[in-house]
Amino acid sequence: MRKKTKWFTFLQSLVVLAAAILPFVGSQPAFAASQTLNNDVFWKDTSGNPIYSQGGNILKVGSTYYWYGVKYNGAVTYYNNPSAKNDDTSFAAVTCYSSTDLVNWTFRGNVITGATDGSTWDADWLGRLGVVYNATTQKYVLVTQYVGPAGSGVAFATSSTPTGTFAFHHVQSSISNVVNNMSGDQSTFVDDNGKAYLVFSNTNGRSHLYVSELRASDYLNIEPATNVYNSSSGGREGNAMFKYNNTYYLCSSDLHGWNASQTYCVTSNSIQGSYTGEFVMDGTAADFSHVSQTSMFIKVQGTSGTTILFGGDRWSDFAGNGIGYNQWMPLSFSGTTPKMNSLSQFNIDAAAGTWSVGSGNNYALNPSYEADRVSQNALAGWLTWDNVSVDPNSNVSGGAHSGRWSATQSATTAYSASRYQNLTNLPNGTYTLKVWVKSSGGQSTAQIFVKNYGGSEIDAAINSSIGSWTQVTIPNIQVTNGSAQIGVYSVANANNWVRVDDWSFIKN
């Protein structure tokens, strides 16, 4: 009985000791090694609040990732009403979030807050920022595009901690060796040797790409630039760099108003050149980089490998490029050739540096028709067929099931038409196809279909009147050959129509 009492007392003391220690063991929540990242949604922080972070970068300090970006007032408006487009790019704050697994993010505060009193941070524009750490000064340095009371150019701010706040230092109004003297779009990059750089395009036209080292002593000045590439087919923005297996990749997007874009890259074995000719990154053309614009790349180096994540922004003046502000996708490589894996869901193990496709991934590309940004017949990721001189296939702005756009088939004469997508590299197994539809009815044939999957074609009729958005489901699709074709097909009379939106093709 005496021994039992002592043992029980000892256990009680351990419990009390643990209760006293645990609150002080780190400030970052602990999560399982592998986490699931979902695109095409508004991301939330660990308190359940929206993550407002665009046009920024991620800095790793120890085992913690710090994510910096801009909160724009229009982003808040968009979150509260995703069906309405707005162009309010006024600056609210630079936010900071932290994570150890790249999925669960804790809000650490606003490291810069917009003002309305004419002070330095009462900026007309602030964005395309990065934070780098200077070991000599032991300061975290924030580098950002800036237009405001302190002038225009690139602004610098410093902090003694990664979570700020950052104190304004100065604005650099010109960069040597640059057409128009200033950056038009930019991001920061830190090489393996610790040197920090600014990669950017020139401000007017943006057809010239540059690399500039930040002054080594304090990172508070942009050194004379090296012109590493000139585009002959239009300007480039969203400039961002990553390094993989000793190759530098400088990537950009089209210059067309904050819309989704395929991703263009040039590569080199030396950061300041010479660089190869430009190529479109594999996997970014069919849905314009998962309906996003190049923003940053995240190097995830772990115990079992290294994963490069493509970080894409959805801007389009807030609404019109699909739900959510941020879209992250893992890259894979064939030699030095990168491929973006356009996934709606994947698993990332930050500690191991590995990733895998999520069980809920939607294999349909550009499923909501938001990538193209303009009215047209040919839509990214989709093919068409028809038997009339005026193509009945097009897209429609407004009244979509989600976002701004949906696809339609209609004509003023009788027609036959199909819009379809060929899915490849599918894991064999059982899938479910879903799509939202509306229909005038009256067609001799109007149907959603799936075929070429290793079995007989399966159809779902939509040739009756469907006046409001209704989801059509085709279950139990047994894929045995790693591929499938999905689409909509009509044999219709004059003025018959169908509309489709929000496809999903998910493995059970």
Give me the average pLDDT of each 10-residue run along the chain (508 residues): 39 39 42 87 97 97 97 94 88 97 98 91 94 98 97 97 97 97 96 97 95 98 98 92 98 91 97 95 97 97 97 87 93 97 98 97 97 93 96 94 93 98 97 98 98 98 98 98 98 98 97
The letter for the amino acid at 488 is: V
**Cβ(403)–Cβ(482) under 8 Å?**
no
- Flag whether 204 is in a domain: yes
Query: What pLDDT is recorded for position 4?
Result: 40
Which residues are CB-contacts of 280 (< 8 A; sequence separation ≥ 6)? 262, 263, 264, 265
State the CB neighbour count (10 A cutoff) for residue 338: 25
Whether residue 118 is found in the same domain as residue 263: yes
Note the pLDDT of residue 75.
95
Q: Is 455 exposed, middle or buried (0-12, 13-18, 19+ CB in 10 A)?
A: middle
At 336 the three-state DSSP class reads: coil
369 belongs to a structural domain: no
pLDDT at 31: 59
The tokens describing 15, both together, are 């419990």
Same-domain pairing of 258 and 347: yes
Number of residues written out for the chain:
508
**Which long-range contacts (C-beta less than 8 Å, at least 24 apart) are formed by 40-46?**
40/322, 40/323, 40/324, 40/327, 40/344, 40/362, 41/323, 41/324, 42/79, 42/323, 42/324, 42/325, 43/105, 43/324, 43/325, 43/326, 45/97, 45/105, 45/106, 45/107, 46/104, 46/105, 46/106, 46/107
Residues 480, 397 share a domain: yes
- Decide: 226 and 212 in contact? Cβ < 8 Å: yes
Is residue 374 domain-resident? no
- DSSP class of residue 120? T
181 φ/ψ angles, rounded to the nearest 5 degrees: 70, 0
* Cα–Cα nearest to 75, from 257, 318, 324: 318
* Nearest C-alpha neighbor of 229 from the set 206, 259, 208, 203: 208
Res 26: pLDDT:
39
Q: Residue 321: its pLDDT value, please? A: 84
Q: Is residue 75 part of a domain?
A: yes
Total domain count, the chain? 2
- Predicted pLDDT at 234: 87
What is the torsional sign of CA 30, 35, 36, 38? positive
Residue with tokens 């040197």: 195
Residue 124's nearest CA partner among 171, 190, 66 is 171
User: Which residues, listed in sequence order, are joined to residue 485 by a DSSP beta bridge?
Assistant: 422, 451
pLDDT of residue 17: 38
Give the C-alpha separation, 418 to 387, whole Å: 10
**Residues 233 and 343 both lie in one domain:** yes
Secondary structure (3-state) at 319: coil
Please state, in angstroms and as integers, the Cα–Cα distance from residue 452 to each residue in 455, 475, 487, 506, following that order.
Answer: 7, 15, 12, 16
Mark whether 345 and 269 lie in a shared domain: yes
Q: Does 218 lie in the same domain as 88?
A: yes
Whether residues 153 and 242 share a domain: the answer is: yes
Strand pairing report for 151-159 and 167-172? antiparallel
Lookup: tokens for 192:
């393996």
Q: 309 and 410 in one domain?
A: no
CATH number of the domain enclosing 84 = 2.115.10.20
* Tokens read off for 129: 């920022």
What is residue 318's predicted lDDT score, i.e. its pLDDT? Answer: 85
The CATH number covering residue 493 comes to 2.60.120.260
Q: Report residue 397 as tokens.
A: 């702005």
Whether 352 and 400 share a structural domain: no
> What is the residue range of 422's domain?
383-507
* Residues 343, 305 share a domain: yes
Query: Do 446 and 338 fall into the same domain?
Result: no
Residue 41 lies in a domain: yes
Q: What are phi and psi of 317, to 5 degrees?
A: 50, 35
Tell me 2's DSSP state.
H
Residue 291 lies in a domain: yes
88 and 229 belong to one structural domain: yes
Angstrom CA distances, 276 to 230, 285, 315, 325, stand at 11, 20, 29, 31
Q: What angle do CA 255, 273, 189 make, to 5 degrees?
A: 65
The pLDDT assigned to 187 comes to 97
> Is residue 117 in some structural domain?
yes
The residue from 310, 341, 357 where one domain ends is 357
Q: Determine the Cα angle at 155 with ends 151 and 156, to 5°.
A: 140
71 within a domain of the structure (yes/no): yes
